Each structure stands twice: as structure tokens, then as C-alpha cells.
Amino acid sequence: MKSKKLNVCYLCGNKKLRTIGRRKGRTISQCLSCLFTFINPIPTKKELDKFYNSPHYVSGHADYSVEEGSQRGYFEKKLNQIESKVKRQK
Ligand SMILES: [Zn+2]
């Protein structure tokens, strides 16, 4: 079953989204509050399983632990930005 197109941010619930692109019949939406960018409608678990198990899928990251030191600071900063936006909505 295909999921429905969202009119609110999947992450923070903000109602102001903009379309930044279209690809393969799906919209790429961006939240104007937290800037979360996502495929809309959100793929179902079945669709994601099919994609990630496809022989055409290549992650390019066999071992994330090797990059942990260089990546941790960046993602902690991004997570803090997201959390500050989510708290503001409540
Ligand atoms: Zn948002």
C-alpha cells in the first residue's frame, strides 16, 4: 500500500512545506521551519526494503565506525538544531 502525501513536516509537524523537486513520481518536500527534507509521500517499509535489498543499491559506507570521529561533531550539531526546532513547536 502506498502512503499518502503529507501536508505537514514528518519531523516537526510544521504546516509550511515547499517543493524542491520531483523525481520518479514523488515530490521532494522541505519544511520551512526545520529544513527537514524528505521524499513525499514517505516510502513504506516494503518500498524501503525493496530499495535497500536491490542489487543496484550501493551504500558506499561499509563501516561507519571508521568515520565516527570526523562525523560525530557534525551530526550532533545537526541533531541539536532539529531538537531546538521541535521543542519550539510544542
Ligand atoms: Zn519541520
Q: For residue 89, how far is its CA from the centre of ligand 1 (angstroms)? A: 9
pTM of the model: 0.60
For 71-83, how does the pLDDT look when each residue is reduced to its tens digit (9 = 90+)? 889 999 999 988 8
Is 52 a member of any domain? no
Identify any residues that bridge with 19 across adjacent strands, giving them in sequence order: 29
Per-residue pLDDT band at 18 (split at 50, 70, 90)? very high
CB neighbours of residue 23 within 10 Å: 8
Is 56 a member of any domain? no
Is 86 a member of any domain? yes
Q: How far apart are CA 12 and CA 4, in angstroms?
A: 18
For 50-60, how does the pLDDT look when each residue is reduced to its tens digit (9 = 90+)? 988 888 777 76
Q: For residue 27, how far is its CA from the centre of ligand 1 (angstroms)? A: 16
Q: For residue 48, how far is its CA from the centre of ligand 1 (angstroms)? A: 22
Q: For residue 14, how far is its CA from the centre of ligand 1 (angstroms)? A: 5
Identify any residues that bridge with 31 across adjacent strands, giving them in sequence order: 17
Q: At 37, which helix (H) or strand (E)?
A: strand 37-40
For 32-42, how does the pLDDT look when each residue is reduced to its tens digit (9 = 90+)? 999 999 999 98
Q: How many domains does the chain have?
A: 1
Is 14 a member of any domain? yes
CB neighbours of residue 29 within 10 Å: 23
> What is the residue range of 72's domain?
1-45+62-90
Cα 39 to chain centroid, rounded: 7
